[in-house]
Structure 1
Amino acid sequence: MGPNGALSRHVLKYRSRQIQIDMALAVCEAIEHKQNLVVEAGTGVGKTFAYLIPALLSGKQVLLSTGSKNLQDQLFYKDLPALLTMLKLHPKLALLKGRSNYLCQLRLGQAMEYASRNSEQALDHLLKISQWASVTKDGDIGNLTTVPEHSNVIETVVSTKESCTGSHCGHYEACFTRKARLRAMEAKVIVVNHHLFFADKLLKDTGFAEILPDADIVIFDEAHQLPDISIRYFGQQFSTKQITSLLAHVMDIQRQELGDTIQISECCQQAGLALSQWLDALNQSQLTDWRNALKDKGLSQLSWALLAALTQISQLLLHHLGRSEALDLAVERLQALTPKLAAFFECNDVQAAYSVALNRGGAMLSISPIDVAKQCQSLFATDTRWIFTSATLQMERSLGHFCKQIGQAKARQLIMDSPFDYPKQALFCVPRHLAKSAQGSQTAKQLVDICVPAINAAKGRTFVLFTSHQMLEQVALLLRTRVNYPLLVQGQGSKQHLLDKFKLLGNAVLLGTQSFWEGVDVRGRNLSCVIIDKLPFVQPDDTLYRARAANAERQGHDPFSHISLPQAVISLKQGVGRLIRDERDAGVLILCDNRIVNRAYGQAFVLSLPPMSRTRDLDKALHFLKQIP
C-alpha cells in the first residue's frame, strides 16, 4: 500500500493513503492476536482493500460476508481477482448465494411440461430461461440478462428447500446449488451475504446441513445491517404461502399415488378453508401486532381451528407412511411447520415481538427477539477472528451502541474518518420556514417547492430519498409537471436498471425509498444533489419497536434515546453517504426536516454526520449547486 508497493505498480493514479494503511494494520493485528475488531471506515478510506490485503496475505481461510448482492459480486468478480493478480496469490475462490439465486433443473423441467398454460409473456420468459439453462455454467439467476428480474416466472424455476429432493433427484449430479456448495467447501476464500451466513449458521436451513466452514477469519462488510438481520434469524419467520403450497402438494400426491385415500384431499380442503377464513379475519382487523390481534375472540377461535385442521392432517398422514416417498417428505415438512404456527399463536415468549405482515394472497408471521446481544456474543465467541466494518457504525463518535447490539463490547473499536475535504466539497442545508404542521398533500407540495429549484440548479443530477412510498408517489406525481429533466421513480424497473439509466442519462432525477439509501455508488458529476424528505425514525406503531420500547422502559431506559434515535442516526448517515463518493465530488445535501435544528436530539445527528459546511439559506445551497460544473 506504500508509494512503491504492489498497488502503486498496478492501479492507475494510485495514491498511498495513511488512513487506509492504518486500517490494514489494525486488521493485521486482529488476525495475529485473535482479536475481534469493529471499525467504521468513512467513505474514501478504501476499506475493501484495507481488509482484503491482510486477510489474503495471512494464508488463512477467509469468509467474506456482505450486505448486498452487488457488493458480493464486486468482491468476487472485480476486487479479489485484481488483488490476487497484484499479490501473485492463487487461492481457490467461491461465490455462494442463497439457494433461491440458483436455477433448479427439476423445477424448470416441471414448468416446461405445463408451459402451454402460461400467458404469452410468461411463455416467452420461460423459453428464454430454458435456452439460458443450456449454456450457463453456474446457474446463477443474477447472470440471466434476457428476462426481467421481477418476472414471476423466475420464482417458479429457482431452487427451494421445499421442492428439493436431494440425492433422489434426477438432476442431482448436475445440480447448480449442490455444485456451488461443493466449491465453497473446497475454497480458501468464500464470498457470501449476511442472510446466507445466518441461515446456515443458525437455522441449518440450506437443505445441505451446515456447509459454511468454520473459517479462520470472518469479515462482515456493511456490518451496520447485522443487528436487524440477526434478529430475523435468531427468531422465526414463515409465510402462510408455505401452508398453501404444502396442502396443494399433498393433494397432488393423493391424486397421483394414493387414489384410495380421498379423505386426505378432503382434510386438506378443510384446512385450506380454515386458512382462508383466518386470513380474511386478519385482513378485516388490519392488526400487525399479534398480541393485540389475539384479543379478538373471533380471530383467536379461527387460529386454533386452523391449527387443529393441520394437526388432523398430520395425524392422518402418519397412517400412510411408507406408501409414497413424496408423501413421507411432505409429512416431515408438515410436522416442522405446525409447531412453528403453534408457537406463534401462543405468544409465550415475553422477550419477543409477534408480528403479522399481510401480503398478496397470504401473510408473513414473525417472532422477533427484542435483544440478540447474548446470542451474537455466543456466535462470535469461537477461535475465528471476527472483523466488522462499515461506513456507518458510530453515533456521536462512539461505536458503543453497535457493539452492544451484537455482543461485542470487548472488541477493539476504531473510527477511521473519511479523508475527503467535506467542508469544501459539500454543503448541508436545512431550509428555513419549513412548516411545522404540514401533513399529507401539504408536505408533498412543500417538498416539491424545495425540489424544483434545487433540481434546476443542479441541472438534474439529483437523488430525492423518502421515508415512505406514499410520499414518494405524491411528490413524483407533482414533479412530472414541474421539471424538464428525466424522472426515474422507484418501481419503474429494477434498482440496478434505474441506477444504470441514471448514470447513462447524466442529468436525471431519481426518486427512491429505503433501498436507495444505501449500497448505491454514483461518482462524479452525475450526482450533485441529495434531498431527504425527513429524519428516518422508525414508526412508533412498529411491532418490534413497541416490544423493544416496553423492554427498555422495564430496565429504566428511555426508548427514544435508547432505540429510536440511534437507528435513525445510522439510517440518515446511509442516505447522506450517497452524495460524496470521490475526492473530486462536490454536492449539496438538503434535509427537509427542521427537527434536526430545533430539537435537542438534533445534535446527535449533526455530530454523527460528515463535517459538511452548513446553512439554513436555500439560496446559498442553490448558488453552490450552480457552481458545480
Structure 2
Amino acid sequence: MTRSRQPNSKHASSKETVAKPAAAKGAVAVSRLAAEVQRAFLPDGVLSKHIQGFSARTSQMQMAQQVSEAIASKSNVVIEAGTGVGKTFAYLIPAILSGKQVIVSTGSKNLQEQLFFKDLPALVAMLGIEPKLALLKGRNNYLCQWRLDKQMSEATHIDARLLDDLLKINQWASTCKDGDIGGLTSVPENSSALPLVVSTKESCIGKRCDFYDACFTRKARSRAMDAKIIVVNHHLFFADSVLKDTGFAELLPDPDVVIFDEAHLLPNICVNYFGQQCSSRTIDDFIQKLLAIYQTELSDTGQLAQFCQRCLAKLSDWHNQLYSCDESDWRLVLGNKALAAASWDLLAELTALQNLLMAHIGRSELLDDIAIKLAELNNKLSVFFNCDNNLAAYSIEFGSRFVVLRISPINIARECQQLFVPETSWIFTSATLQVNRSLIHFAREMGIVDAQQSILDSPFDYPRQAVFCVPRQLGSVTNQQQALKQLVEVCVQAIDAAQGRTFILFTSHKMLEQAALALRTRTQYPLLVQGQAGKQSLLTKFRQLGNAVLLGTSSFWEGVDVRGKLLSCVIIDKLPFVSPDEPLYRARADNVSRQGLDPFTEVSLPQAIIALKQGVGRLIRDEKDRGVLILCDNRIVNRYYGQAFLNSLPPMARTRDLDKALEFLRQIP
C-alpha cells in the first residue's frame, strides 16, 4: 500500500471546507450510483422485499446519498450518524454497488466479524451481485506454522499442560483452512500456548521460512489483494499503513475507497501508530532467545552467554529503579540522575551485545535475525533516552513485570494528511463525532480538509424515551469522600426503582472499587464488577440475570449494546475529563498555550464531550427502549462549559428532580 505520497496543495490546510462540486464526468457517475443506491431503499426496493418490516429512514437515505457522492466523485465526507440511523447499510450498499475496491475499517473485532459474516453476505444476496469479500485481521490472529513446528520440536522440554494445548493446536492446524485463531475452540482463549504459536512481526522471517507457501498470514493477504470489499479493523489499517509489515511488504492493497466506521476512535489510535513504543519485554525476549541459541547452536561462543548475562543484570537494575518511582512522564523520570545513568548503562551493554552479534553474522539464521532487530531496538532506545522532540509526549507505563516507553505526537494532522491521499475516497462515520453541534474538532484533529461534513440526528424519540437527570442536591465532585457518598445514595435509589437493570459507569478504577464495596451491603440486586471476569463474560451474565447492576470504567463506555428492558438506567459518576497530569495531555496543553489558545477549550473539553456521549449512548439502543440517565456531576449545569456538553447530547427530557427520574424508572415494565 503506497500511502507516503505527498498531499497536493488543497490538502495542506487545516481549515474547514466543503467538498467542491464534481466535474461533468464525475457528476454523471454521482447521479448513476446515487440513483441506484436510492432505488435499493425505496418502498419497493430490494431491502423492503427481503427484510420484513423494513422502512427506510430519511437520515439513512441521506447518509447513503452522501456516501454515494463521495465514492463516485473521489471526494471525502465526515458523517455523524446518531444511534438508530442505520449507518451500516447506508455505507455498505453504496460500497457494494460502486464496483470499486473498498476497505471497511472498524474499531472492534466484534463489528468486523458482524460486517463480514452477517451484514455483507445478506446484502450481496439481496442485491444479486457477488463481489469477492475478504476478512483480514492483524497477523497475531493467525497461526504461524513455523513457530508451531518449533514448539513441537521442543516438546520434551515443555510442561505437560502446555504440551496438551499445543497438541490440540497442532491437530486443528492440519484441518483448518485459514489459520484464524478465532476458529480454534479446543483451546481456551487465555491458553499460554497461543502467544507461542501466533504470527508476529518479530518472529517472521519472510521468504526464508520453510512454510512460506503455506503461510496463513500470506494467504490472507493474497485474498485481500484480490477482493472488492476488504473488512479490517483500525489497528490493522494503521499498522499496515504506517508501520508497514515485515516479511510480506504491506498486507493491504491500494483501495479506491476507505470507510472508517467507529471513526471517533481514530485520533487515539493514530497517536499510537504515528508515535513509537518500546517494551522491556522485547529486550528480555531477545536476550532469552540468544541464550537459547548459545545452548543449542553456538556453545563454543562463551562471550555470547557472558554478554547476555550482563545485559540481564543491567535490565534488572533499570527495572528496580523504575519501579521505585511513581511517575508516568518519562521526561520527569529522566530528571532523576540515577535513573538517567541506569538507562544509558543499559543501552551501553545492549550496544556491546549488538557488536558481538555482528561479529558472528552468518553462523545462525536466528542470530542474524535478532542482530538486525536488536540494532533497531537500540536505535529506538537512544531516541527515548535523548528525549529531544518538543512536539511529542514521552511516557512510561508499568506492567506487572515489564515497562513500556511511548513517544506520542501531540499533533497527528500532518501525518494523517500524508496518509489520506487524494486518489482515494475517505469516508469517516460514527455516532459520536460532533462537539457542540460541529464536526470541525474531529476534522481538524485528523487533518481532514476538503470534506463534506454532515450531522444526521438519531430518529429515536428521545424526549419520550429518555430522562436525563442531574440531581439538584449534589455537592462538589472534587471532594472525593463527599462525591462517593452522594453517588452511592443516588445509585441505591435508582437501582431499586429500576429493579436492577443498571449500568454504573466510572471515570476511575478507584471510585469504582469504593462504590462497589459500599453497594454490596446496600442493594439486593446482583452486582457485576469489572475485573471479576472478562468484559464479554460480564455482559453475558448481565443479560442472563435480567436484574443485575454492572459497574465498569472506560471499556464499558462504548462498544456495549444491551437493548430492551434489560437496561433501564445508566448512572455516570462525573464528567470524563482527562487527568491534567497525563503526559500526552500535558504536552498538548503546552503546545496549545504556545499558540495563545486555551488548552481546556481546545483539548480537554472536546475529549470529555466525546467520551460522555459514548457513555450516554449505552442507554437508548432501540426505538422501543426507555430509560433514565443520571449524571452525578452538577458542573454540567452550573459551569460555563456545561452548555457545550448539553448541546452535544441527544435531546432527552431533562430534570433536576431525582424523584421524577425515579418515577419514570418505576413506570418501565
Do both proteins adopt the same fold according to a TM-score greater than 0.5, normalized to the shorter chain?
A: yes
Judge which range, 61-70 or 464-473, deviates more. Answer: 464-473
Q: 1:385 aligns with which of 406, 409, 425?
A: 425
Write the letter of the residue equivalent to 2:128: K
Partner of 2:267: 227
Distance in 2, matches of 1:438 and 1:535, equals 11
Q: 1:187 aligns with which of 213, 217, 227?
A: 227
Distance in 2, matches of 1:506 and 1:381, equals 49
Q: Contact (CA 8 Å) 2:205, 2:247: kept in 1 or not?
A: no
Corresponding residue SS for 2:580: coil
Q: Deviation of residue 467 (structure 1)?
A: 1.1
Q: 2:341 aligns with which of 275, 280, 301?
A: 301
Judge which range, 142-151 or 402-411, deviates more. Answer: 142-151
Distance in 2, matches of 1:133 and 1:485, equals 45
Report Cα offsets for 1:191-212 as digits up to 9, x if no partner.
Answer: 0111111111111135421121
Q: 1:582 aligns with which of 622, 635, 640?
A: 622
Partner of 2:531: 491
Partner of 1:481: 521
Write the letter of the residue equivalent to 2:142: Y
Corresponding residue SS for 1:55: helix
Partner of 1:266: 306
Corresponding residue SS for 2:587: helix
Q: Contact (CA 8 Å) 2:393, 2:407: kept in 1 or not?
A: yes
Q: Deviation of residue 172 (structure 1)?
A: 2.9
Report Cα offsets for 1:241-279 as digits up to 9, x if no partner.
Answer: 011101111121122111221101111111111111111
Alignment partner of 1:549 is 2:589: yes
Alignment partner of 1:284 is 2:324: yes
Q: Deviation of residue 483 (structure 1)?
A: 2.2
Check 1:624–1:116 CA distance in 2 against 1; reply closer, same or farther (3 A cut): farther
Distance in 1, matches of 2:635 and 2:464, equals 25
Q: Deviation of residue 32 (structure 1)?
A: 1.5
Q: Contact (CA 8 Å) 2:245, 2:251: kept in 1 or not?
A: no
Q: Deviation of residue 442 (structure 1)?
A: 4.5
Distance in 1, matches of 2:535 and 2:156, equals 31
Write the letter of the residue equivalent to 2:388: N
Corresponding residue SS for 1:208: coil
Corresponding residue SS for 2:609: helix
Q: Deviation of residue 477 (structure 1)?
A: 2.1
Distance in 1, matches of 2:499 and 2:165, equals 38
Partner of 1:39: 79
Alignment partner of 1:93 is 2:133: yes
Q: 1:218 aligns with which of 238, 258, 261?
A: 258
Alignment partner of 1:342 is 2:396: no
Corresponding residue SS for 2:324: helix
Distance in 2, matches of 1:166 and 1:557, equals 49
Q: Deviation of residue 583 (structure 1)?
A: 0.7
Task: Show the 5 A alignment for 1:295-444.
Answer: 295-436=335-476, 439-444=479-484
Report Cα offsets for 1:119-150 as digits up to 9, x if no partner.
Answer: 67655554544444344332222333444433
Report Cα offsets for 1:603-629 as digits up to 9, x if no partner.
Answer: 111000000001111111111011111
Distance in 2, matches of 1:596 and 1:575, equals 15
Partner of 1:106: 146
TM norm structure 2? 0.91
Check 1:8–1:464 CA distance in 2 against 1; reply closer, same or farther (3 A cut): same
Distance in 2, matches of 1:622 and 1:119, equals 56
Distance in 1, matches of 2:163 and 2:519, equals 37
Partner of 1:69: 109
Check 1:429–1:113 CA distance in 2 against 1; reply closer, same or farther (3 A cut): farther
Judge which range, 285-294 or 365-374, deviates more. Answer: 285-294
Give aligned pairs, total. 629
Write the letter of the residue equivalent to 2:636: I
Q: Contact (CA 8 Å) 1:149, 1:494: kept in 2 or not?
A: no
Q: Contact (CA 8 Å) 2:562, 2:618: kept in 1 or not?
A: yes
Partner of 2:666: 626
Judge which range, 67-76 or 436-445, deviates more. Answer: 436-445
Check 1:277–1:533 CA distance in 2 against 1; reply closer, same or farther (3 A cut): same
Partner of 1:5: 45
Distance in 2, matches of 1:443 and 1:148, equals 41
Distance in 2, matches of 1:591 and 1:374, equals 37
Give unmatched runs, 5+ long, in structure 1.
Answer: none
Distance in 1, matches of 2:194 and 2:481, equals 38
Q: Deviation of residue 482 (structure 1)?
A: 2.4
Distance in 1, matches of 2:83 and 2:76, equals 22
Q: 1:506 aligns with which of 524, 542, 546?
A: 546
Check 1:235–1:23 CA distance in 2 against 1; reply closer, same or farther (3 A cut): same
Q: Contact (CA 8 Å) 2:85, 2:457: kept in 1 or not?
A: yes
Report Cα offsets for 1:368-408 as digits up to 9, x if no partner.
Answer: 11001111112112300000000000011000000000111
Corresponding residue SS for 1:285: coil
Distance in 2, matches of 1:337 and 1:226, equals 27
Q: Contact (CA 8 Å) 2:472, 2:657: kept in 1 or not?
A: yes
Check 1:123–1:517 CA distance in 2 against 1; reply closer, same or farther (3 A cut): farther
Q: Contact (CA 8 Å) 2:476, 2:483: kept in 1 or not?
A: no
Distance in 2, matches of 1:203 and 1:162, equals 13
TM norm structure 1? 0.97
Q: Deviation of residue 488 (structure 1)?
A: 1.8
Report Cα offsets for 1:203-233 as digits up to 9, x if no partner.
Answer: 1135421121110000000001111111111
Distance in 2, matches of 1:437 and 1:39, equals 34
Q: Deviation of residue 445 (structure 1)?
A: 3.3
Q: Contact (CA 8 Å) 1:200, 1:206: kept in 2 or not?
A: no
Distance in 1, matches of 2:511 and 2:159, equals 34
Corresponding residue SS for 1:547: helix
Judge which range, 501-510 or 49-58, deviates more. Answer: 501-510
Distance in 2, matches of 1:124 and 1:627, equals 54
Check 1:477–1:156 CA distance in 2 against 1; reply closer, same or farther (3 A cut): farther
Q: Contact (CA 8 Å) 1:347, 1:354: kept in 2 or not?
A: yes
Q: Contact (CA 8 Å) 2:504, 2:552: kept in 1 or not?
A: yes
Give unmatched runs, 5+ long, in structure 2.
Answer: 1-40
Q: Contact (CA 8 Å) 1:99, 1:206: kept in 2 or not?
A: no
Write the letter of the residue equivalent to 1:536: P
Q: Contact (CA 8 Å) 2:204, 2:246: kept in 1 or not?
A: no
Report Cα offsets for 1:434-469 as digits up to 9, x if no partner.
Answer: 231664454333322111221121122111111112
Check 1:619–1:348 CA distance in 2 against 1; reply closer, same or farther (3 A cut): same
Q: Deviation of residue 595 (structure 1)?
A: 1.0
Alignment partner of 1:461 is 2:523: no
Write the letter of the residue equivalent to 1:398: S
Q: Contact (CA 8 Å) 1:400, 1:409: kept in 2 or not?
A: no
Q: Deviation of residue 64 (structure 1)?
A: 0.4
Q: Contact (CA 8 Å) 1:528, 1:586: kept in 2 or not?
A: yes
Distance in 2, matches of 1:504 and 1:536, equals 30
Distance in 2, matches of 1:474 and 1:120, equals 41
Partner of 1:449: 489
Q: Deviation of residue 426 (structure 1)?
A: 0.4
